[in-house]
Structure 1
Amino acid sequence: MNNLESSQYIGPKEILKKKHEYIIPCVYHFYEEPMQLVKGEMQYLYDHTGKQYLDCFAGVSVVNCGHCHPEITKAICNQVTTLQHTCTIYLTENIVNLAERLAQLTPGRLQKTFFCASGTEANEGAALLASIYTGKQEFISLRQGLHGRTKLTMSLTGLSMWRTDTSPVGGISFAPNAYCYRCPCDKRYPECDLACANEVETIIKTGTSGQVAAFIAEPIQGNGGIITPPPGYFKRIKEILDNYHILLIIDEVQTGFGRTGKMFAIEHYGVEPDIMTMAKALANGVPVGAFTSRPEIADTYTRPGASTLGGNPVTSAAALATLDVITKNNLPDRAAQLGEYLKHGLTELQKRFPLIGDIRGHGLMLGAELVNPDHSPAAIQLDTILEQMKNRGFLIGKNGPDRNVMAFQPPLVITRDDLDNLLNNLSDVLTQAIKKIS
């Protein structure tokens, strides 16, 4: 690796030793033989030995513009040498310019934004705003959704592996998600008439006191397994919510900023959220979170509120530069085109390898669910495949409640040649996996 010597790094074994001694054990890592990453450049990462990896996970949908994008890096460096931090109790320009830009980019009438430092905070704030506006305290969430690590957002999460809190917040009901491959209603789309969406009305009538502030959902459930609702799902949901005067909170923390082939994934469904949350790719790796809403909702939040680090000058400069890169290079369209190419390649692999049970997603947010012959989750096989792909120089994610979904969420600057290389190597590894099974 240029200008980097492996001897200047402590290496994976020493990191694991220090991690065991000094890091709370909930902070886990991928791979039986993990590497030490020391450098990133657009769609590539490098370990301490100089080995190159094609990043197919983007820090979990964060670096949509690529690692260390020069225009974003320059904006960060310029800002950090002039004014690094003030709280929102003082006036600075970047934060209001960023809020204005988001008002121009977000769907529908969304206009006013509160900035914080993470997606968890954004979802927590969105829930608070919904309660302030409606005067109601109950919520409906989806099974297999993930919304954060605080007490409320963890309670809104429908994945047991992420529900660490042994005393979750009450007043939250869970609706079946639109998981067509393993339909929770035991039906088949489109003959199902969107039964999973219709169930939300039943839950409102039977599982709540009728005092529901909001329904919160990811347009595509990332950690839930790239669960992608069918057309018409969110329109049906919105009709039901409007009938009961319940707000729709859309969590775009993983799906936003071009990832799915649209600036925001909810645009695939033609629905306007009442409140929308975002984080991750907004600043291409600089910690950020935000929730935005229509003026009549946002303007009810009038008591003093602040986020010490939210919307600080450096973060806002990074976000503004990120949005410039996304729009100038039309990364949503690029994600749509390359996503179709990758999905086609995965579909061809599926024809040869029954281990791939389902392929789903939009743009460059795709999931391939691995299953055994009896349709049960093939989690052990996936771990083996990911380890071998890592050894070949490809970093792929995994998610789903059974951790058997191969997740492809690369930087949107990835190339067709990169995808060909990925697919060819994946074909080799799957061939080896099938031989071992047989």
Structure 2
Amino acid sequence: MLNDGVLRTEPLEKTNAEYLLRQSRFESNVRSYPRKLPLAIAKAHGVWVTDVEGRTYLDCLAGAGTLALGHNHEAVMASLDSFLASGLPMHTLDLTTPVKDAFSERLLSLLPGQGRDYCLQFCGPSGADAVEAALKLAKTHTGRNTIISFSGAYHGMTHGALALTGNTAPKDAIATLMPGVQFLPYPHEYRCPLGLGGEAGVEALTHYFTQFIEDVESGVSLPAAVILEAVQGEGGVNCAPVSWLRRIREVTRERGILLILDEVQAGFARTGRMFAFEHAGIEPDIIVMSKAVGGGLPLAVLGIRREFDAWAPGGHAGTFRGNQMAMATGLATLEVLQRQDLAAQAERRGLWLKEQLESLQQRYPALGQVRGRGLMLGIEIVDERRASDRLGSFPMDPTLAVAIQQHCFRQGLLLERGGRQGNVIRLLPPLIINDEQCQQVISRFERAVAAALLQTRS
């Protein structure tokens, strides 16, 4: 153990810098994570990642939430060994196999009402692919063409999905994104978009949504669908208030608007429930699933209420919708999530982490707010030296947030930022993280915050 808190084992032949230089020669300028987390990974297991120089890091990024069971979990590895020995094909278009049959049965059983009123659609392997399919299906079923999305949303980077995403930066250079998208304000615990805050803000936003749909003079035709995240991830870990989400479900049902819940990042036990929308007790019309559903391998699936399954045969396709290895690892992951009740464990450990972070907040007022559910947490980084708004919220401090992420890396803690201007530190550890590892997260994070403050404010 060195002074920076990072463990080291035997190094490999090239340094991190050498691999990163080679990567810059091989790959497009579009790469992003290596710019924030400058390492080359040699191996990984559980919550730990080891770079080519032998440094070991505690991973609170976990493939942006993909690795629910962490790296190379024994059940996932055993499923791969079994699959490779079985002689089954690696992908089958949409032809079925015993693996696909077992996976489908298990996944359906996790949907509302144990899936009795739902069917599955296997899509291309990314969450954005599934979002595109959901949009097409909603338009096909309703015969309408407009979609409502929300500020702060993230639904992917393909043309249609990007049109639904709140962040304008990746859109500015693209003039012909999917038309017919109307954005409405999403509740924000720390920065109420209406400047009201608390229950008053939630009630006003709920009323605003209702009026927007029901007012014949709103200027927007009745949409085919409303799409949202019950917990916004990239948007800064903003949780949908239960009353707001329930009212959206009521209004969409009354008006024949399909409600699409994007559970790509929040789904599969991360928030303390199997799906984040379960906190509100609602049933979506379409559920978008990816990331953890494939157990670490590429897979995306829609859960569709059968009454809205308006596809003609072949109406949506994709070569890799038949990724059999991902279904094997996905099945193993779902079995572990249920058998070990990792949703309840995520809730317990998330509450403990949240309490510890709120305790740090008392000592470091630059941690403006701690929020989230389960093991999907966000810390809003602010400049408390400047004047607050009338609700007591301080201005964002993205410079400090960047410095905290950099010092976390030096402390052996991998995590990401999100939110407006990237000022929200996000924690997405594997759901198998234990108590001692949670304590390490807090101690490493505190050291990073102290160092970042010294660097940026001294």
Query: TM-score normalised by the shorter chain: which range applies?
Result: over 0.9
Whether the 8 Å contact between 1:143 and 1:158 is mirrored in structure 2 is yes
Three-state SS of the structure 1 residue aligned to 2:421 is coil
The answer as to 2:251 corresponding to 1:240 is yes
How far off is 1:293 after superposition? Answer: 1.1
Matches of 2:43 and 2:256, distance apart in 1: 49
How far off is 1:11 after superposition? Answer: 3.2
2:72 to 68, 74, 84: 68
Matches of 2:322 and 2:233, distance apart in 1: 25
- Structure 1, 132-141 or 24-33: larger mean CA deviation: 24-33
The answer as to 2:118 corresponding to 1:111 is yes
Three-state SS of the structure 1 residue aligned to 2:42 is strand
1:420 to 428, 439, 457: 439
* Residue of structure 1 in register with 2:55 after alignment: 51
Whether the 8 Å contact between 1:161 and 1:401 is mirrored in structure 2 is no
Q: Which amino acid aligns with 1:106?
A: L
* Residue of structure 2 in register with 1:307 after alignment: 318
* Residue of structure 2 in register with 1:7 after alignment: 12
Q: Which amino acid aligns with 1:213?
A: A
* Residue of structure 1 in register with 2:183 after alignment: 174
Matches of 1:33 and 1:199, distance apart in 2: 41
Three-state SS of the structure 2 residue aligned to 1:323 is helix
RMSD: 2.0
Matches of 1:99 and 1:187, distance apart in 2: 45
- Structure 1, 43-52 or 163-172: larger mean CA deviation: 163-172
Q: 1:311 to 1:89 in 2, by over 3 A?
A: closer
* Residue of structure 2 in register with 1:356 after alignment: 367
* Residue of structure 1 in register with 2:128 after alignment: 120
Whether the 8 Å contact between 2:354 and 2:377 is mirrored in structure 1 is yes
How far off is 1:168 after superposition? Answer: 1.5
* Residue of structure 2 in register with 1:433 after alignment: 452
- Structure 1, 60-69 or 92-101: larger mean CA deviation: 92-101
1:391-421 deviations in whole A, cap 9, x for unaligned?
A: 1111122111210101011001111111112
The answer as to 2:419 corresponding to 1:409 is no
Three-state SS of the structure 1 residue aligned to 2:288 is strand
1:119-161 deviations in whole A, cap 9, x for unaligned?
A: 0111111111111111111100011101111111111111123
Three-state SS of the structure 1 residue aligned to 2:224 is strand
Matches of 1:7 and 1:65, distance apart in 2: 27
1:102-123 deviations in whole A, cap 9, x for unaligned?
A: 2110124552111121101111
Three-state SS of the structure 2 residue aligned to 1:292 is strand
How far off is 1:268 after superposition? Answer: 0.6
Matches of 2:110 and 2:12, distance apart in 1: 46
1:39 to 33, 36, 43: 43
Gapped regions of structure 1 (runs ≥ 5): none
Q: Which amino acid aligns with 2:396?
A: P
Q: 1:209 to 1:431 in 2, by over 3 A?
A: closer
How far off is 1:303 after superposition? Answer: 3.0
Matches of 2:36 and 2:177, distance apart in 1: 32
1:390 to 409, 434, 452: 409
How far off is 1:193 after superposition? Answer: 5.0
1:145 to 145, 149, 153: 153
Matches of 2:151 and 2:400, distance apart in 1: 25
* Residue of structure 1 in register with 2:329 after alignment: 318
1:90 to 76, 92, 95: 95
* Residue of structure 2 in register with 1:292 after alignment: 303
Q: 1:429 to 1:88 in 2, by over 3 A?
A: closer
Matches of 2:63 and 2:79, distance apart in 1: 21
Whether the 8 Å contact between 1:180 and 1:229 is mirrored in structure 2 is no
> Counterparts of 1:267-278 in structure 2 under 5 Å?
267-278=278-289
Whether the 8 Å contact between 1:283 and 1:318 is mirrored in structure 2 is yes
- Structure 1, 369-378 or 238-247: larger mean CA deviation: 238-247
Q: 1:407 to 1:89 in 2, by over 3 A?
A: closer
Gapped regions of structure 2 (runs ≥ 5): 1-5, 387-393
How far off is 1:199 after superposition? Answer: 2.3
- Alignment TM-score, normalising by the size of structure 2: 0.90
Whether the 8 Å contact between 2:381 and 2:397 is mirrored in structure 1 is yes
Whether the 8 Å contact between 1:173 and 1:208 is mirrored in structure 2 is no
* Residue of structure 1 in register with 2:380 after alignment: 369
Whether the 8 Å contact between 1:44 and 1:54 is mirrored in structure 2 is yes
Q: Which amino acid aligns with 1:154?
A: L
Whether the 8 Å contact between 1:250 and 1:273 is mirrored in structure 2 is yes
Q: 1:140 to 1:258 in 2, by over 3 A?
A: same
Three-state SS of the structure 1 residue aligned to 2:321 is coil
Matches of 2:37 and 2:373, distance apart in 1: 31
Matches of 1:345 and 1:431, distance apart in 2: 15
The answer as to 2:204 corresponding to 1:199 is no
Whether the 8 Å contact between 2:138 and 2:258 is mirrored in structure 1 is yes
How far off is 1:14 after superposition? Answer: 3.0
Q: Percent identical across equivalent pairs? A: 31
Q: Which amino acid aligns with 2:246?
A: K
Matches of 2:88 and 2:183, distance apart in 1: 45
Matches of 1:398 and 1:86, distance apart in 2: 35
Whether the 8 Å contact between 1:142 and 1:217 is mirrored in structure 2 is yes
Matches of 1:388 and 1:358, distance apart in 2: 20
Q: Which amino acid aligns with 1:293?
A: I
Q: 1:11 to 1:76 in 2, by over 3 A?
A: same
Matches of 1:129 and 1:370, distance apart in 2: 39
Whether the 8 Å contact between 2:62 and 2:428 is mirrored in structure 1 is yes
- Alignment TM-score, normalising by the size of structure 1: 0.94
